[in-house]
Amino acid sequence: MQLPDPRARVQSVLDSSAPRLYPPFFRAVFSGMDAERAHHVGFAGIRAAERTGASRALRATMAPDLGLARTVMGLRFPSPFGLAAGFDKTGVGTTALAELGFGHIEVGTITAQAQPGNPAPRLFRLPADRALVNRMGFNNDGAAAVAPRLAATRRTLQERFGAVRPVLGVNIGKTKVVPLEGAAEDYRTSTRLLAPHADYLAVNVSSPNTPGLRQLQEISALEPILAAVREEADRVVADRRVPLTVKIAPDLADEDVRAVAALAERIGLDGVIATNTTISREGLTTPAAEVEALGAGGLSGAPLKERSTEVLAVLRAALPSATALVSVGGVTTADDVAARLDAGADLVQGYTAFLYEGPFWAGRVNAGLARRMRGR
């Protein structure tokens, strides 16, 4: 008796009209579990699939169509759709995530010093809104511990995927105990350790979960940080230029977004990532009392769709086409990704929908983009 080809099963799952298998699994297994624990359990499953060879056997089916590849910031991305920072904070499973079809994976946020983050519970689901609230607080192992993992990751990606491999982004933030006036040197330390292993760097000054961090989006504070990171990256990586981006908040006023754009153009920044999580709680379906009971934190997911798209439009109008725009916030479907690309994004990232859509999410988005590309 011939067993069914697992690749055919996966191909049927990637069909947008096929019955969805993951949502009932999520409701049965994860919905009653603490959100952070569910994340660790799910991520462990993805890594186990890599170790056993299960995900590798399906790589050809999950991989993006060759026609989706594009060059952005001098890097070749196999798909315009990637995974935002926050899922793999310390680089422990990036190669496993690459098997799922993401065109790039942004590791982090990583700080110069190891830190535990904020007390748990610190991650909460809002299923009615397809959203999350988090106040993780940059929990990570520190740049020195993560650096060798990233070095091994780049080697493995090259061996598995060849020239057009998933791109490795590295997102860096400020260590909580470092005062704001020491931020530039703190980011410089992370850059020194991590830039040699990054395809591009993302400077995170927009998380609401590190006290005072968002003050660093002010131009007078942001410019010396970006200058320090650029200088250090150029110093420690002599054989190539590591593209540099900055990640901004959706809560900036439009005039402040334009000020960031002007700075990016003036100093020759390679790209802007828009947007991070929001402190707003407007327009949610979840009862206000339930949301308030969760406490402080950044909101991500579907509710960010409108503002993230607005910020993208402001940036695209203000920036030259040579400055890359990475749009993130409220992205779920291939149509969402295509709409951001049509609005001027060069790349698109998702994160929150991954928790609700499951491991075939990137493959399904890529398949939808390929169908659109072929006009059907």
| Cα angle for residues 349, 327, 119 (degrees, 5° grid) | 60
Name the amino acid, one letter, at 90. T
Strand partners, 301: 131
Instruction: Give the residue ranges of the annotated binding site.
Output: 85-89, 109, 134-138, 171, 204, 209, 247, 275-277, 301, 330, 351-352
Strand partners, 70: 77
Give DSSP secondary structure letters for 269-311.
--EEEE---BS--TT-SS-HHHHHHH-S-EEEEGGGHHHHHHH
Which residue, among 110, 82, 89, has the nearest Cα to 166 in the 3D structure?
A: 82
Q: Which stretch of DSSP H or E encloses residue 57? A: helix 54-57
Tokens at residue 162, please?
């060849």
The question of whether 300 is a catalytic residue gets the answer no
Strands annotated E in the chain: 70-72, 75-77, 81-83, 104-110, 123-126, 131-134, 167-172, 200-204, 244-248, 271-274, 298-301, 324-328, 347-350
Name the amino acid, one letter, at 36. E
In angstroms, the CA 282 to CA 303 distance is 8
Q: Which of 55, 79, 207, 300 is catalytic?
A: 207
Inter-CA distances, 190 with 88, 91, 141, 271, 335, Å: 17, 14, 12, 19, 36
Instruction: Give the residue ranges of the annotated binding site for substrate.
Output: 89, 134-138, 204, 209, 276-277
Q: How many helices (H) and strands (E) does the chain have?
A: 15, 13
Tokens at residue 305, please?
């769709």
Q: With the C-alpha atoms ordered 229, 232, 235, 238, is the resulting torsion angle positive or negative?
A: negative
Instruction: Give the residue ranges of the annotated binding site for FMN.
Output: 85-89, 109, 171, 204, 247, 275, 301, 330, 351-352
Exposed/middle/buried for 160, CB within 10 Å: 0-12, 13-18, 19+?
Answer: middle
In angstroms, the CA 119 to CA 289 distance is 22
Active site positions, annotated: 207
